[in-house]
């Protein structure tokens, strides 16, 4: 669980993310948004569609995950976000990162791929 006394990094606070998403940012230890995050988050928060490319490890999952999670209704317990990935490994990686970022908001993430049960 995140410490509510830990403030979100200033760069992320300007994006209009939900308070729970900002707690996820702080818990993840992000200091400043990466270039992909700084460019993508405001567009996604504004409801724009986006196709973006960036190298591995630059924060792409947070770039789309944080604004998507910020837009979820915490009282709606149905599927809120569907992320499609090309491989099982990437599916697991994205699911783990979204679960970590969404923990403060009570958001759960379940990877679903062929050959495995989708229930946890």
Tens of pLDDT, residue by residue over 66-81, are 999 998 887 887 888 8
Summarised one tens digit per residue, pLDDT across range 10-63 is 689 899 999 989 988 988 888 899 999 999 999 999 999 999 999 999 999 999
Reported as a single tens digit per residue, the pLDDT across 84-104 is 999 999 999 999 999 999 988
Q: According to the 3-state scheme, what is the secondary structure of 6-69?
A: CCCCHHHHCCCCCHHHHHHHHHHCCCCCCHHHHHHHHHHHCCCCCCCCCCCCCCHHHHHHHHHH
Indicate the pTM of the whole model: 0.82
């Amino acid at each position: 669980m995140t410490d509510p006394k830990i403030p979100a990094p200033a760069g992320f606070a300007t994006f209009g993310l939900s308070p729970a998403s900002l707690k996820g940012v702080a818990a993840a230890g992000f200091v400043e948004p990466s270039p992909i995050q700084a460019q993508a988050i405001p567009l996604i928060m504004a409801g724009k569609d986006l196709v973006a490319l960036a190298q591995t490890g630059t924060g792409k999952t947070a770039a789309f995950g944080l604004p998507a999670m910020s837009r979820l209704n915490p009282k709606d317990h149905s599927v809120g976000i569907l992320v499609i990935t090309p491989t099982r490994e990437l599916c697991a990686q994205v699911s783990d990162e979204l679960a970590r970022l969404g923990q403060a908001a009570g958001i759960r993430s379940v990877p679903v791929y062929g050959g495995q049960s989708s229930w946890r």
